[in-house]
Structure 1
Amino acid sequence: MKLARYGDRAGPKTPCIIDAEGIARDASSVVADFGPATLSPAMLDKLRATDPASLPKADIEGKRRAAPVAQPRNIWCIGLNYSDHAAETGMPIPEEPILFTKASGTYCGPDDDLLYSPRMTKLDWEVELGIVIGKPALNIGKDEAMDHIAGFVLVNDVSERAWQQERSGQWVKGKSFPNFCPTGPVLVTPDEIDDVQALDMWLDVNGERMQTGSTATMVFDVVTLVSYMSEFTRLEPGDLICTGTPPGVGLGMNPQKWLGIGDTVTLGIDGLGEQRQKVVAL
C-alpha cells in the first residue's frame, strides 16, 4: 500500500491511497489524516482492506505534494551507516549505530524549497531511506522490529557541514535548519517491498549524478536499527528514522562541492518515488 498527502503546508491535507495505476484516491472518508494517531496496525489494516476503486479520485491538480505523514514528534538520524560513505569521509565504520536528531521544524514536503541562509557556506545533500514507526517500540528484539514499522519513505537529510563539523558541539547543529528534511512523496508499507535491504538509490544536482547506492551497503540494517534504538528510547507512532546515506555527498568529493542559490536537487529510491528541490535565498 502506498499512501500520500496533498495540500498547502499550513492548511488541511487530503490523505490518499495510490492505486495500482498510480491514481491518487481520496481516503478522507476512511481516515482524517495519516499521522501519529492514525498509523496503528489496526488503521493500516482498515486502509489495506479498502478497495481503492471505491474511493473517488483525489482533486490534486496543481496541489502541493505534502509529506506523506503528518508532523512527527521525533526525527531520528543514523550517522555513517553506509560502509562506502564512511570510507569517503575517511572515518571508521561505527561499531554501534551513531544516533542524532534533527529539529522537528526541518520536516517538509518532497518538493519544498531548500532555504539558503546568508550564514551558510557548505550546504550538502544526502539521499536516505526513512523508517516511519507505526506502534510504540521499547526494548524489542530484531524479530519484532518489522511489526512496529508503518512504512518507508524517501528522505533528503540536508546538512550544513560547516555548522556540523566546524562549530563544535553536536551534529544536530548542522542538521536542523528549516526544510532540512524533505520527506516523501509516499509512505510505502513493508508488504509492498520485497527486500528493503536491496533498494537502489540516487541523487542528482543540476542533472549531474552525485550519489548512486543501495541499501544493501547499510552497516546496520532496518530491523537492527529499530531494535537497537528501542533500548535507549521509546519509539513513538509517526517517528521518522533517517537511516544514513551512500557515498557521493559534497563533503566527500575532491574538491568538495556545495549547494548554492538556484541549484536543483533531484533524488529517488526504488519504489519510494522521487523528490525535487530548488535552493532559494532565505
Structure 2
Amino acid sequence: MNDLIETDTPDDIPSDAPLPPGLYIVATPIGNLGDLSPRAASILSRAETIAVEDSRVTAKLLNRIGVKRAMTPYHDHNADKVRPGLIERMGRSAVALVSDAGTPLISDPGYKLVRDARAAGHDVTTIPGPCAAIAALTLAGLPTDRFFFLGFLPSKEKARADAIAEVAAIRATLIFYESGPRLGAMLAALHDSLGNRDAAVVREITKTYEEAVTGTLSALAERYAEQGPKGEIVVVVGPPGEAPVASAADADALLIEALKRLPAAKAAGEVAKATGLPRRDLYVRATALKGED
C-alpha cells in the first residue's frame, strides 16, 4: 500500500470555525461510544444541521461529546419530503448525515441525499468509521477476499427464498443483517437454498456481550430455531465449495441445447464459460454433434 499522505481537508480549519457548506457523511459508533473518531466529533460539533435517523439516538451521542445542534429527522418514511430542504440548506451551510449506528447509506436511504447533493453542485465529504457488516466479516473467520453485502432479506417466505436463490452461485462470502425474532427462519432458509456452508452469527458488536458464534448453517439454524438472541445481528455465510467438473454427458446436453440457438463456435464458448471445460475440445464436440443431426 502507498504511504499515507496528509492533505488539506475542510476540517483542517480551526476547531471553533464553521465548516464550509456541503454534505458531510459521518460514521458513528455501532455500540461502543468510544469508537467515535475525533474527526467525526469535530464535524458534528461544527455542522449547522445534523440529519438523523432517530433524534433520540443521536441526542445520546451528541450529549456524550457535549454538543448541541439542530437535528432534522431523515429516514425511510419522510426522506422524499425532507430531502429538498436539506439540499437547499447545503448551499449555504454544513449539513452532517448520520444513521442510528455505523456508516450512513448502508441499508438506509442516504444515497439519494448524496446523489441529489452532487447534482446540485454541493461538496460531499465522507468521515469514515464503524460499519457492522465489515466488523462482522473480521470476526467471522470466513474468506474476505470477495464478499457480497445483501442487508436485510425479505420477511415473506417466497420472496426471501427467491432473494437467496439469486446469490446462491456467487463465489463470495455473503453478509446479511437480521433481527433476533427472524433469525431462526432466516438461517433455515439459507440452509435450504445454499446447502450446509460454514457461517457465523455475530451480534452486539463492540458492546459488552459481543459474540461470534460459528458453525455450519444447519447447526446454527438448529441453535436458534426456538428463540433468536437479543441485539443487533449480522449473519456471515461462506462461499460455495468448488463446483464439480462437468461430465461428458453434461457437456453434450448443454451443447445440444446451445446449438439450437447458436453456431458451433459460439455454443462452445457459452458451454466453456458455464462448465470451465476447454473451449477447443467443446468446439470439436459441437461440430461432431452438428454433423450427427
Q: TM-score, normalised by structure 1?
A: 0.26
More helix by share: 2
Q: TM-score, normalised by structure 2?
A: 0.25
Answer 1 or 2: higher relative contact order, Cα 8 Å, separation at least 6. 1
The structure with more radius of gyration? 2
